[in-house]
Structure 1
Amino acid sequence: MRYLITGGGTGGHIYPALSIARSLKELDPEAELLYVGTATGREAQIVPRSGLPFATIASGGVVGLGLRQKLRGGFRAALGVLEAMRHIRRFRPHVVIGTGGFVAGPVLAAARVLRVPMVIQEQNAFPGVTNRLAARWAEAVFVPYEEARAHFPARARLVRAGNPVRPEVAEATREAGRAALGLDPRDRVLVIMGGSGGARDFNRVAAEAVLRLQVDRLRVVHITGERYFEQVKAQYGDRAPFVTLLPYAHNMPEVYAAADAGLFRAGALTLAEIQVRRLPSVLIPSPNVTHNHQEWNARSLERRGAALVLREAGLTADALAQALTAVLTDEAVAGRMRAALAELADPDAGREIARQIVAIAGRRSR
């Protein structure tokens, strides 16, 4: 079978696509895969390192942009449809799989024109524009939260399935994680991460809150993002010898495994990973994302008792320190979160999605 995969712009679209690709190869070692992205998106660096064949198209965004940028994005997207049609005709996929981002729009449109079955994997409680528009033509739309159902067309074929997570996240052990970070097994470890690129205001209030914490044997791993590393380092100064500062972490499975609690944004991939790890966390959704989807994600967990959620606007260091103290030291609070996260966790999501994609491909090949 041949599978064409598309999705890009952010890791939240790319890594679920790669997890699905990995599961497809595990189910069918003879499967042929092609990943279609843009030459300028993060997928252009990430996907080739995974070993998948990679092809490019032009594409551009139109949401939340000025008129001139919308026209430019629309023109590039139209060109992308033609380029995607050429890739589809050459590769002849049995199924096209889209995980979102503006690169997915032209590819899914091309699949529709050429009558190739498509499936969609949505990561967020509030789905992106591309996936909402394409959902009416999809053989299946995989969603991680029931809350997403209200935002899709009534006739969309929705399937509840968690966000695919790398198996390494679930497999990493606490002992290996502590050893990798040079942490004592007796330490109380807090991990802070504001997304792969970091976030200025998030980092600032996080550091201020950490300096107010009164927790025995506290160790903090603060992943700042490369852009903000020096700024956060200056903010801590010499007042926080218990803080390990990292601009980026390439070993996130071990970092999660080492942690007792976390402070994060509410990107879909991060939430899927803390669910798999059952990691009690405080979430500060980014206010700078399309359709405020991170707050929708965070509130989905909050309603189930799986996380504490604080809005960035007006957030004080004292309020954040109080919330962090609760998840670090109050076993009743942390225990309820772990139980709720266990109910939400779907570590086999990638394999289940892949099984259903293989079935759709099988019908196509008859």
Structure 2
Amino acid sequence: MNKNLKIVMSGGGTGGHIFPAIAIADEIKKRFPTAEFLFIGANGKMEMEKVPQSGYKIVGLNIAGFDRGNLLKNINLPFKVMSSLMKAKKAIKEFKPDFAVGTGGFASGPALFTASRLGVPIFVQEQNSLAGKTNIFLSKKAKAVFTAYPNMEKFFHGTKTFFLGNPIRKNIITDLTDSKQAKEKLGLNPDKLTILSVGGSLGSRTLNNGWKENLEEINHKGYQLIWQTGKTDFKDLSSSIQHSESIQIKEFISDMALAYSAADIIVSRAGAIAISELAMAKKPVLLVPFPFASEDHQTKNAMTLVEKNAAKMVKDIEMKEKFLPTLLEICENENLRKEMSANLEFFAKPKATEEIVTEILKTLKISS
């Protein structure tokens, strides 16, 4: 069995579900080069593109979540669930996996439920501090649940729960460098306090507006800003704002490790994988959670850090009153910055992927 392991991976909808699944598959592949993988995703979602790009085979289910905004759209949901269960059953029966790993998202529900019904051992990885409904449901049949936050047992009663962190991009762990060198490499003054703002690949309108309104004050204070605008606002912002050596406006940052290294303070949304990367960077962070994430889980993620004094938080609706004062409080207090960095270390889990895979293999008594 050890020589030809077969594994079903399922997770998708967002990068936060997809990339941990790919990272876990890559780690298993490293230990078992002949292992075979079958990813199960949702048609029309980003996993159908990202998984093949990473070299893995994927089957798409015609599944969607419950639409609370438009109840009429849910008429076909029972049929979608039934057809997804049937397709998942066919794929899993043909593939004959040794075990299955789910990282959340629409497709992991039918995929892992079906796997467990067919007697396949299943494992769940939960990225957020508020467990998703799919993962809570699946955990009842799981051999173990792996979490990125402590004290998650309350969601997964009776199932073995391990606080091991989120699998993140390898280069974030390996390529972090000295702050002054990183600033010089980016053409910034190595002696000036530098703020990095990241709002995801599409960007954050809230963060972009926050910077637009307060850029004069940032300039006046002599701070440097690396501002990742995202695709949506980049054209408007780069043409309407005067570029200077101290304000760098970028649509996208390809070398995140370099940007994290250069930063003295980071302003970010509070997605699970973003927070896991920020914890690795160990830089003081101001979180502005995306309020429309399902069940407002970004606010819950942020609060977990705030409660340990590892981050400050400003809500979307508080941006006008609180963004600049909170940011300046961090910028102007070096002791606070040192304390926040030290407290962030609790959430830094550089070996998350390796430890998750080791625990799976241990549970199933598979030696690598």
The total of aligned residue pairs comes to 361
- Structure with more relative contact order (C-alpha pairs < 8 Å, separation 6 or more): 1
Q: 1:197 and 2:202 equivalent?
A: yes
Structure 2: distance between partners of 1:3 and 1:211: 54
1:23–1:351 contact (8 Å) kept in structure 2: yes
Q: Greater shift after overlay, 186-195 or 274-283?
A: 186-195
2:42–2:64 contact (8 Å) kept in structure 1: no
Structure 2: distance between partners of 1:96 and 1:65: 32
Q: State the partner residue of 1:295.
A: 299
Q: State the partner residue of 2:270.
A: 266
Code of the residue aligned with 1:125 in structure 2: it is S
Structure 1: distance between partners of 2:78 and 2:229: 35
| Aligned match for 2:335, one of 332, 341, 366 | 332
| Aligned match for 1:322, one of 325, 340, 345 | 325
Q: Pairwise mapping of residues 7-26 of structure 1 onto structure 2 (< 5 A)?
A: 7-26=11-30
Q: State the partner residue of 1:233.
A: 238
Deviation at 1:182, TM superposition (A): 3.3
Code of the residue aligned with 2:218 in structure 1: it is L
Structure 1: distance between partners of 2:68 and 2:159: 25
Code of the residue aligned with 1:285 in structure 2: it is P
Q: Greater shift after overlay, 68-77 or 18-27?
A: 68-77
Q: State the partner residue of 1:347.
A: 350
Q: State the partner residue of 1:85.
A: 89
Structure 2: distance between partners of 1:286 and 1:113: 36
The 1:104/1:65 distance shift into structure 2, 3 A limit, reads farther
Q: 1:134 and 2:125 equivalent?
A: no
1:120–1:138 contact (8 Å) kept in structure 2: yes
Q: Greater shift after overlay, 70-79 or 16-25?
A: 70-79
TM-score normalized with structure 2 length: 0.91
1:191–1:255 contact (8 Å) kept in structure 2: yes
The 1:244/1:16 distance shift into structure 2, 3 A limit, reads same
Deviation at 1:285, TM superposition (A): 0.8
Deviation at 1:43, TM superposition (A): 1.1
Unaligned runs of 5+ in 1: none
Q: State the partner residue of 1:50.
A: 54
Q: Pairwise mapping of residues 52-201 of structure 1 onto structure 2 (< 5 A)?
A: 52-62=56-66, 64-152=68-156, 154-174=157-177, 177-178=182-183, 181-201=186-206
SS in structure 2 of the partner of residue 306 of structure 1: coil
Deviations 1:107-158 (A, max 9, x none): 0121122121110000001111211111111111111113533333x22322
1:23–1:354 contact (8 Å) kept in structure 2: yes
Deviation at 1:361, TM superposition (A): 4.0
Deviation at 1:73, TM superposition (A): 3.4
TM-score normalized with structure 1 length: 0.91
Q: Pairwise mapping of residues 281-292 of structure 1 onto structure 2 (< 5 A)?
A: 281-292=285-296
Deviations 1:242-264 (A, max 9, x none): 22222222322222222211100
SS in structure 2 of the partner of residue 121 of structure 1: strand
Deviations 1:63-108 (A, max 9, x none): 5343222233342232111111122112211111000011111101
1:7–1:14 contact (8 Å) kept in structure 2: yes
Deviation at 1:241, TM superposition (A): 5.3
Deviation at 1:299, TM superposition (A): 0.5
Q: Greater shift after overlay, 36-45 or 277-286?
A: 36-45
2:28–2:35 contact (8 Å) kept in structure 1: yes
Q: Greater shift after overlay, 179-188 or 64-73?
A: 179-188
Code of the residue aligned with 2:175 in structure 1: it is A
